[in-house]
């Protein structure tokens, strides 16, 4: 039996990984205790996604466990031992705003939980590949020191800057303001590297930009595009924090990220690190994202603006994919920004509205109209 063990299996990346590898014939062992509903409230619960996996995947086995429980985690690993070929660790406290409310919870989930999984892997299945979803927040606010210039709908780097195509792994993680979330993820990121370099495990940290897709249980404090589209659909007021709404993020669809995991799994390395995100292929400012969500949903977003930016937040972040593509040249991105947002809308509108929506209504709304080229040429042409 070949097993893929996935933590946070009912979340965005975990559920995508479960579907992806389940369809390849793997048995999926999922670990998820819906802690997201504790972090962000009942509306952010991942229970709906867990039920979907249990219905769609015949070889999906769920364990309602907390990754901070070392004994129970060890017991799961000891049950399956060498049958575990791949571990995809996505479980986390994912919000740098929330982390400040309960720093100990944030750190024990993100750092201690990761240590529990690494040690269980070392003891029970040391030949397995261990993939960790890290974050670009490990760089703290260092990206804000870049010579950014303000443009009509976004901040941007000069085209001749070395990081114009994206920030690479050479950026320092030191001497910067990370947020407590960023600090706990740094600890986990370094642990993953160290278990590769010190113990020889096949480990990797993928430092993600904005991870997105239709299976995201978006909430105000986490889930940028998903929550933005949800607010457009439901009429909920959305708050834009700082930088005139011109802050830039790259966005990678969960499928494209999991496909990157697959490439690494098939040809693993030890103690590796990759920046991963939409890159220049898929990125947007807050203003540009709002415009697209309004066009796709057919609704005007109710929004308010707070001049105070989130502490430690990035003004501009686009990932350089050069290193990963050099190592895995056959990996390609399928989803650009527009396709991603249309899919988020189409697959969630009924759940958000709490009622049936006819296919014709969905189709009519998801046909983007208007002159979207006004969003600026900096958004990759294939997203328009």
Tens digits of residue pLDDT in 232-247: 999 999 999 999 999 9
| DSSP result, 201-236 | -EEEEEEESEEE-TT---BTTB-HHHHHHHHHHH--
203 has a pLDDT exceeding 70: yes
Which residues, 6+ apart, have CB-to-CB distance to 21 below 8 Å? Answer: 4, 28, 86, 262
| C-alpha to C-alpha distance for 233 and 366, rounded to whole angstroms | 12
| C-alpha to C-alpha distance for 87 and 6, rounded to whole angstroms | 6
Average pLDDT estimate for 163-175: 97
Q: What is the pTM of this model?
A: 0.91
Tens digits of residue pLDDT in 7-22: 999 999 999 999 999 9
| C-alpha to C-alpha distance for 81 and 331, rounded to whole angstroms | 30
Q: Measuring CA to CA, how many Å separate 106 from each of 51, 74, 198, 317, 336?
A: 26, 21, 26, 23, 32
What would the two tokens of residue 142 be?
């260092």
Residue 212 in contact with residue 161, Cβ under 8 Å?
no
| C-alpha to C-alpha distance for 193 and 145, rounded to whole angstroms | 26
318 has a pLDDT exceeding 90: yes
Domain boundaries in the chain?
A: 3-383
Average pLDDT estimate for 191-220: 93
| C-alpha to C-alpha distance for 53 and 379, rounded to whole angstroms | 34
Q: What are phi and psi of 97, to 5 degrees?
A: -70, -45
| C-alpha to C-alpha distance for 276 and 294, rounded to whole angstroms | 27
Residue 5: what pLDDT?
Answer: 98
The CB density around residue 97, as the number of other CB atoms within 10 Å, is 17
For domain 3-383, the CATH superfamily is NAD(P)-binding Rossmann-like Domain (3.40.50.720)
Which residues, 6+ apart, have CB-to-CB distance to 114 below 8 Å? Answer: 67, 89, 132, 187, 188, 191, 192
Average pLDDT estimate for 149-174: 98
| C-alpha to C-alpha distance for 243 and 237, rounded to whole angstroms | 19
The band of 223, judged by pLDDT with boundaries at 50, 70 and 90, is confident
The band of 372, judged by pLDDT with boundaries at 50, 70 and 90, is very low
Contacts 24+ apart (CB under 8 A), 365-372: 365/296, 365/297, 365/298, 366/296, 366/342, 368/292, 368/295, 368/296, 368/338, 368/342, 369/295, 370/295, 372/291, 372/292, 372/295
């Amino acid at each position: 039996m070949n097993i893929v063990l996935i933590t946070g299996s009912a979340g965005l990346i975990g559920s995508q990984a479960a579907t992806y590898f389940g369809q390849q014939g793997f048995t999926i062992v999922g670990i998820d205790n819906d802690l997201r509903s504790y972090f962000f409230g009942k509306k952010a619960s991942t229970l709906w996604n867990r039920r979907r996996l249990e219905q769609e995947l015949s070889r999906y086995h769920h364990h309602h466990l907390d990754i901070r429980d070392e004994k129970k985690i060890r017991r799961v690993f000891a049950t399956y031992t060498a049958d575990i070929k791949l571990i995809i660790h996505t479980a986390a406290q994912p919000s740098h705003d929330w982390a400040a409310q309960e720093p100990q919870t944030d750190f024990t989930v993100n750092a201690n939980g990761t240590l529990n999984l690494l040690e269980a892997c070392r003891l029970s299945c040391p030949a397995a590949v261990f993939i960790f979803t890290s974050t670009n927040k490990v760089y703290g606010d260092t990206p804000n020191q870049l010579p950014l210039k303000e443009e009509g709908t976004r901040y941007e780097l000069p085209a001749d800057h070395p990081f114009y195509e994206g920030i690479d792994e050479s950026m320092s993680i030191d001497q910067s303001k990370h947020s407590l979330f960023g600090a706990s993820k740094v600890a986990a990121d370094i642990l993953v590297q160290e278990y590769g370099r010190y113990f020889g495990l096949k480990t990797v940290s993928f430092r993600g930009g904005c991870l997105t897709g239709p299976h995201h249980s978006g909430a105000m404090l986490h889930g940028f595009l998903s929550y933005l589209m949800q607010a457009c659909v439901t009429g909920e007021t959305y708050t834009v924090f700082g930088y005139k709404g011109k802050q830039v993020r790259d966005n990678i669809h969960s499928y494209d990220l999991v496909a990157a995991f697959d490439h690494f799994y098939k040809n693993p390395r030890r103690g590796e690190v990759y920046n991963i995100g939409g890159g220049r292929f898929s990125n947007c400012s807050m203003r540009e994202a709002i415009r697209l969500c309004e066009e796709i949903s057919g609704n005007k977003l109710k929004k308010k603006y707070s001049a105070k930016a989130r502490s430690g937040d990035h003004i501009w972040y686009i990932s350089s994919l050069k290193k990963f593509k050099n190592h895995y040249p056959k990996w390609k991105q399928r989803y650009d920004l527009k396709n991603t947002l249309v899919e988020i809308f189409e697959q969630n509108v009924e759940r958000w509205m709490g009622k049936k929506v006819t296919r014709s209504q969905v189709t009519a709304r998801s046909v983007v109209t208007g002159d979207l080229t006004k969003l600026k040429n900096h958004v990759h042409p294939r997203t328009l």
